Amino acid sequence: MEQPIGVIDSGVGGLTVVHELMRQLPKEPLIYLGDTERCPYGSRTEEEVKQFTWEMVRFLLKKNIKMLVIACNTATAFTIKDLQEKLDIPVIGVIKPGARAAIKSTESDYIGIIGTEGTVRSEAYSYALWQIKSDIDLISLACPRFVPMVEKGILDGPEAKQIVETTLMPILEHKKMDTLILGCTHYPLLKDTIQEVVGKQITVISSSEETARETSTTLDIHQIANESDRMPLHQFYATGDLQIFIEITQKIFKDSNFEVLTIKHADLHNV
């Protein structure tokens, strides 16, 4: 099926999911929509997050998507059940793929989760993990400094390392923890720095990589993978300032072929 996969996010973090989708599923055309104008969602009310998410979904449904990926932890936590019930196409979020990968990885059954305040407060990861395996021990930590840092492009170097070290201190005391979930789609851009700080003995799970992998499984189960060998064209939309969005996109996709993607402004008021 040559129809595109739709990917939504509150801003630019979901681009790490897109990057992984392009790497792991290079035949699939993608449409990305980032609500950069109203980002971040982490501190919004549940009602607002639901309303904004539905506006994005309606925009993408008009583009004839065959599947929806909610590439935002906050939006996943608040809307996935509703979207899965009401849409005719498969819908996946970023939380369960990360939870499943962590369960596969852990030997001590002691898992750490870092995310935005909204995601940590929602306890969505705890619920996803305990639904599958009741005797998992969890330690979660909100890292409010990470998203602004990424948006400023501070991904490595001494400043990044110092912020990551200071922030993660409280969970590093838990010596039994052997797996750490990056429960925010911005964080994979800090993965190398985080791995350096936590040490090699801890497996760092990128929800972006894992979500791309489960997208592959989902396409397969629903028999809607693209079997054509034509080079796919990707479309990126943002609701806010395009200049900043293009700059961040270029940073994330520095190794990619820019000819296969177009970047446009999306107006959600007229959907």
Q: How far is the CB of 26 from its own copies (least distance, A)?
A: 6
16 labelled ligand-binding: no
185 labelled ligand-binding: yes
- Going from the C-alpha of 232 to that of each of 132, 169, 195, 225, the distances in angstroms are 36, 43, 33, 13
How far apart CA 50 and CA 185 sit, in angstroms, is 18
Nearer to its own copies, 103 or 172 (CB): 103
For the annotated catalytic residues, the residue numbers are 72, 184
- Going from the C-alpha of 157 to that of each of 38, 160, 161, 193, 194, the distances in angstroms are 30, 6, 6, 8, 12
Nearer to its own copies, 50 or 213 (CB): 213
What residue ranges bind its own copies (CB under 8 A)? Answer: 24-27, 90, 96-97, 100-101, 103-104, 131-135, 209, 212-214, 216-218, 220-221, 225, 227, 229
10 labelled ligand-binding: yes
The helix (run of H) or strand (run of E) holding residue 8 is strand 5-9
Q: How far is the CB of 201 from its own copies (least distance, A)?
A: 13
Cα 195 off chain centre by = 18
Nearer to its own copies, 77 or 238 (CB): 77
Q: How far is the CB of 63 from its own copies (least distance, A)?
A: 23
Q: Which two tokens stand for residue 155?
A: 């991904």
Taken as a whole, the chain contains a residue count of 271
Nearer to its own copies, 7 or 205 (CB): 205
53 labelled ligand-binding: no
Q: Which of 236, 190, 181, 179 is nearest to 210 (CA)?
A: 181
Q: How far is the CB of 221 from its own copies (least distance, A)?
A: 6
Q: Which two tokens stand for residue 233?
A: 């064209």
Binding-site residue numbers for substrate are 9-10, 41-42, 73-74, 185-186
Binding-site residue numbers are 9-10, 41-42, 73-74, 185-186
